[in-house]
Structure 1
Amino acid sequence: MGQGRNRKNSPIKTIIVTGTAGFLIVIAGTAGFLLIQSKMLEKVEAMQQCYLDLVDFRGKLNEFDLCRKADEKNGRDTLELTAKENHQPAMLRFMEGKLALELKKAGIAPLPPLIVNKEGNLVPLTGENFETFRAALQNSIETARSKSAETTAGLVTVNQYFLFFILALLLALSLTAGWQLHLNYRQTLIPLAQLAEQMKLLNRNIPESIHDTAEEIKKELAEASRSSDITQITESIMDFFAEIEAKNKKLDEINIRDEKTNLFNYRHFKEHLITEIERAKLTGSKVSLAMIDIDHFKLYNDKNGHIAGDLVLKHMADLIASQCRTSDIPARFGGEEFALLFPKTDSETASEIAERLRRVIGAEPFENEEDQPAGQLTVSAGIATFP
């Protein structure tokens, strides 16, 4: 009788041992995956930050060049005025130092040095030297953009590999349990067979997104009766998919949002502009565009500093977003310029929105705005409509 009892309990022991081993493997694999994913996510964010800082540095460099040309045209001492009035050389050198560390960490070739004389003036950034430096900067920007895309793609690949690892492990454990309890756990065996079939489909034709994969598995398993064990497994898989999808959405936000204002960035705006124009051509509808520019923003920056200027940009962005409709695309176009895309909107409606926004901004108090030429911070707006 004792031997019969041992033989009877043997499948249960096998399932317990196998399940425990599989659970430990899942825990170890999940911990390793989360560690790798966290490091890769940090790398993606660092690479994106490096790219954004390079773009910002390019803007400051172009601003410096415009000031230099304007001063030369007026017959003034460009470098002396730039150093004393605008503090741009010091700002450029500070940004150069920060970028040097970021480029080294990202594995991107360093920029040519900003050489200064003993008075702190940017001596070589004129003529051919300036164009050479700007070309090197543009090359670094393109490299940073490319590496950011590669790192993001690598993170997605790691997510997919780990997903298949988990599903394969669950399949192996489930088949073992089904073999041991074939007659007693028929409700468990059938859903697992369906899961195996779904895995074969995934191997032949991977869906475009993790969300599609999760929904397909959920649909397949919902069509048949299953035990509580399979229900828990399904819920665990769905929770895991939801976590990965949330992190992928975070990565998407990093790629389409402007860091300073949290509005859409220029690239995202440009993509939607092209799409809406093509839609207008096909449907005969109208699409409007508004360009918003902060008046005398450089003067405000020079008097109050870039930190105060960044706060103004963020506040302006919040006001712009609050006045937009759900279908509108508000974006930071560059510097102190904002762009608003109005799908399926005529010029009259777009003008009303822009005028309302101009009044709201004019009535909003800003710190130290009384020093502005108009006694307050104001914006100018232009409207264009297609067709």
Structure 2
Amino acid sequence: MPSLRPFIVAGIVALVVLLPGATVFVFHQQKLHQHAGAVQVLYKDLLEFRSTLSAINRKILTNENRQEVLDSVVQDTRFLHLRSVAWQSKAEESHMPGLAEWLRSQQLMLNRWLDGMNNDAYPDPDSTITMMLLQLDDVILETSMELQHSHERISSSIQFFLFIVLFVLLMFAVSATGIITVNYRKTVLPLNRLAGRLRSCNKDLPESIHDTVEDVRRHYSHDTFSHDIHQISHSIVTFCQDLEQKNKKLDELFIRDEKTNLYNYRHFRDHLVMDVARARRYNDPISLAMIDIDHFKIYNDNNGHVAGDRVLCRMAEIFIHECRKEDVPARFGGEEFAILFPRTDAGQAHMIVERLRFVISREPFEFKEGQPGGDLTISAGVATFPEDASDWFSLVNHADRALYYAKSMGKNRVMSYADIQLEGP
């Protein structure tokens, strides 16, 4: 069953080989560089050793009878002895036992020389310094060769690592080429045919996407083609299902008010028309409440539209929480709301709306103390079919009339259309 899995496995194998190898190479290179650096430092120290020793020899040969010169020679020899001790320690740390042993022998020779000068025995430059210089030249030459070998080992290590990397990459490339060739024959070509079938299946009928997907599922099953083709066909089906769900969400957004998430006027009107028709058919009562926020323009002017939007959202939450499951709250427009009460007479609707008015009057809205009366309140009008209206249109008008009558009576109250009729025009 061709897929990209072998290609991925080959890549993982290459990484598994290269990463530990690279780690080992880095540590090995660090050790080689440290050794080369230490050898180079020792090489410079040996040159300094020779330079100091030559300077001592020149002082002895030039002014062999002057006491101040002899004192200077003693001082330089002691300094050279101290330096040789440090160089010996470096040689031991750099795993160069031969050089360390030679430096130790030079320290003994320098000690004997110092003891001879302290006993007023004049040093013999021909038998001592000359021999030390000759030995030192040999040691410097050996150290120089060791330094050269260290650099050669570094270069050889890099070349070997690059060879391994190139070999692994070459094997990876060969494997990848074979895998790509197999996948092209058994996955890419069928995929091309699948794309052609998708283009030809009902391409002029967007509403028949589901039928096209069923056709793809029938002709490109897991047993017929590769696992990749099966995954693609499954993705097509999943995509179409997601598309249907998103279309439902878009429909939901189309019928919802974006600020309050209540039904908008368009959907509420369609709901009202159908529910009034159902109430007429089954001889059931249905009530409608029109609700308006009192002095909301003052609130917006004083506190801004952002604060006003928060009030609208909180009002919507209260309506949803306090209403029954079958009730239909909606935002009618601006600061005006509507609630439809199916199978609810005027008395029940008035009681529900009155409870809403009470809850809202006790709600701690921000900045409500700046409102007239110190509270943010609502006024509402209620009308009922068939007592107060003969159709949905008159039901809205009569509930609206009851609302404006409530506002004219001082606001923060609920009025029914029947109350208006009793009190007269």
TM-score grouping bracket, smaller chain normalisation: 0.3 to 0.5
Structure whose CA Rg is larger: 2
TM-score normalized with structure 2 length: 0.40
